[in-house]
Structure 1
Amino acid sequence: MIVLLTRDLDPTADMVVRALGATGTPVVRMDPGDLPRALELTGRFEEGRWSGTLRTSHRSVDLGEVSAIYNRRPNVPDASAPGIRPEDAEWASNECYEGLYGVLYSLPALWLNRPDRNRTASLKPLQLSVAHACGLHAPATLVTNSPAAARAFVSESPSVVKTLRGVPQRDADGQPGRPLIVYTWEVDPHKVDDTVAQSLCQFQRRVVPEYEVRLIVVGMSLFAARIDSPSGQVGETTDWRAYQRTDKITYTPIDVPEDVHQGVLAYLARFDLLYGAFDFMVDAEGRWNFLECNPNGQFAFVEYWAGLPIARAVADLLTQADAEHSKTLA
């Protein structure tokens, strides 16, 4: 049995569900955000192992039959309800999170990927250190809340500023809204002011790309798409995402150099991950410059526009784990 932990509307998860359906592998889709109101966990620990059920109004999963878990940006447990004080709801929500993932992490199941490992692997400064250790080239970077240090760094050589983490957005009523995309942009040294002191900021040497690459790794399989856009050209935004859904961008399958191939596999092994969405800039010298790796990044647009069978690779990896789990139960 494969469990997909995801929210209701997610194109990437939808593609994996369809690919799994084609294999005939049993799969159940659940959202931890439904806990505790519409998702019920009963876990019992005896003789060294956990048993029990995960249950929704329509489906029930025997924990002993869970062979693999695909974690694709699910919501977090939410115990808020009319009549419950916010501080009590927060405490109950945290209890739900600790209990759910504490039980699930204890199961002998393959994870793609565990949320706790995703969280560590999402730390951008750590990513750069690990990438370098794995033989990947990464641009010089500064993380600081010192306006003077930032001004000095960007004055040395053309640089960009980029977020350390995605920016949350709140709707007018204060509730979580759709994520806000903050593009990477080139920094004018004369415009670096004291607002830098309000938070840690990440500055990085600017790479002028011949093209960019989104590289998806699933297990030992690599799927790379060359991205051609005006990004990096004079007068243009220095972030290819700004050109999505326009006719100024193209995606083409591309081979991965052997050193990069081995580097990204070593990178994921360091974090104990089976999946990663890597971003590279390829400069005029043909060097692949590592920018970042999103351990839970989407691949739907890469599969669609570049024609790469990524969902099938994810399904195959999960299905293989299910087959091996079934053997142990036989």
Structure 2
Amino acid sequence: MLTRDLDPTADMVVRELGATGTPVVRLDPGDLPNAIEMTARFDGGRWRGRLTTAHREVDLSEVSAVYNRRPNPPLAGAPGMRPEDAEWASSECYEGLYGVLYSLPALWLNRPDLNRSASLKPLQLSTAHACGLLVPETLVTNSPSDAEKFVSEAPTVIKTLRGVPQRDADDAPGQPLIVYTWQVSPHEVDDTVAQALCQLQRRIEPLYEVRLVAVGAQLFAARIDSPSGRPAEVADWRAYQHTDRISYTAVDVPDEIHRGVLAYLASLQLLYGAFDFMVDTDGRWHFLECNPNGQFAFVEYSTGQPIARAVADLLVQADAEHATAGQTGA
């Protein structure tokens, strides 16, 4: 399991794996090279070796599955090392670690390189449409005039294409900030649009919203009721988390959405995805985005759906298949 120390979602999966007796090693690539030692040798057509932490040692030949959650990148550095040399050493650690891990005959949920491409919002929209899902009209531009024209044609929201830089109140590196989706009017469009590509999308008036978590072929959906989308309210349900203005309830997934979601995962070679949908007043589900590494803890806690168990079951199945292959010499 590759993740950082504080990860409640990973904790839930660890507990489920522990209940099955499946051996788990949890580590953060951010501890490489200073707190993790790795030795891998390519011989006889495969990689063999070990990963060693302060408390555990992993035989690479025994790795049956890799759960990639929220790992930090390797972080090299030593007294007297120049920053540019530390950056280069960190990159070398990343290339070596993931190059070896990708080569192992193990199940990935999901591979970081696949997560990276699957996180591209424009690619998500075109893939969803190709898989039969409804997608709102969207414009990506750094042209102020084109942006103003698009916004003036119909109610529109603006959304980030990716997360914002991590910084604290003093603009120093710190915690990640959240930029909510918000409705934009034509008079708010100015020349600052030219400074970066901006994503503008037609506003949908929601009856409710849905967070749908896909684990392999299993789908778990939560209906989200909040003030999102109402006049004078923030057009993003995340703004109401941890308040009494939001509620989550389990909801059935229509057959056409079920088919579209599974086709989407197959198209982008994913085994996991956290999808966001907006359901309009006519009951139509509109695809907004899919975080290939999105957390699910709040869905499980709020609705009681056994998502962590489904993740664990997928990893345990890979472990059983790995053991069988080892016994047969495959």
TM-score after normalising by structure 1: 0.98
1-side partners of 2:276 and 2:249: how far apart? 15
In structure 1, list runs of 5 or more residues that go unmatched.
none
Other structure's SS at 2:55 match: coil
Corresponding residue of 1:100 = 97
Q: What code does the residue aligned with 2:15 have?
A: R
Q: CA deviation at 1:179?
A: 1.1
Q: CA deviation at 1:164?
A: 0.2
Residue 264 of structure 1 pairs with residue 261 of structure 2: yes
Q: CA deviation at 1:176?
A: 3.6
2-side partners of 1:301 and 1:204: how far apart? 27
Q: CA deviation at 1:47?
A: 1.5
Corresponding residue of 2:6 = 9
Other structure's SS at 1:178 match: coil
Corresponding residue of 2:310 = 313
Other structure's SS at 1:28 match: coil
Q: CA deviation at 1:174?
A: 6.8
Q: Work out which of the residue numbers 172, 182, 187 in structure 2 matches 1:185.
A: 182
In structure 2, list runs of 5 or more residues that go unmatched.
none
1-side partners of 2:80 and 2:173: how far apart? 20
Q: Work out which of the residue numbers 48, 51, 58 in structure 2 matches 1:54.
A: 51
Per-residue Cα deviation, 1:78-113 (whole angstroms, up to 9, x for no partner): 002321111000000000000000000000000000
Corresponding residue of 2:81 = 84
Per-residue Cα deviation, 1:215-257 (whole angstroms, up to 9, x for no partner): 0000000000000001111111100000000011000000000
Corresponding residue of 2:207 = 210
Residue 75 of structure 1 pairs with residue 72 of structure 2: yes
Per-residue Cα deviation, 1:119-168 (whole angstroms, up to 9, x for no partner): 00000000000000000000000000110010000000000000000112
Other structure's SS at 1:278 match: strand
Per-residue Cα deviation, 1:155-201 (whole angstroms, up to 9, x for no partner): 00000000000112224687642110000000011110001011010
Residue 286 of structure 1 pairs with residue 266 of structure 2: no
Residue 164 of structure 1 pairs with residue 158 of structure 2: no
Q: CA deviation at 1:306?
A: 1.3
Give the paired residue count: 327
Other structure's SS at 2:288 match: strand
Corresponding residue of 1:241 = 238
Contact 2:167 2:177 in 1 (8 A): no
Corresponding residue of 1:20 = 17
2-side partners of 1:156 and 1:41: how far apart? 57
2-side partners of 1:175 and 1:26: how far apart? 40
1-side partners of 2:221 and 2:229: how far apart? 20
Residue 147 of structure 1 pairs with residue 144 of structure 2: yes
Percent of aligned pairs with the same residue? 76
Other structure's SS at 1:165 match: coil
Corresponding residue of 1:299 = 296
Other structure's SS at 1:5 match: coil
2-side partners of 1:280 and 1:172: how far apart? 32
Residue 31 of structure 1 pairs with residue 28 of structure 2: yes
TM-score after normalising by structure 2: 0.98
Residue 195 of structure 1 pairs with residue 212 of structure 2: no
Q: What code does the residue aligned with 1:135 have?
A: G
2-side partners of 1:80 and 1:161: how far apart? 39
Other structure's SS at 1:281 match: strand
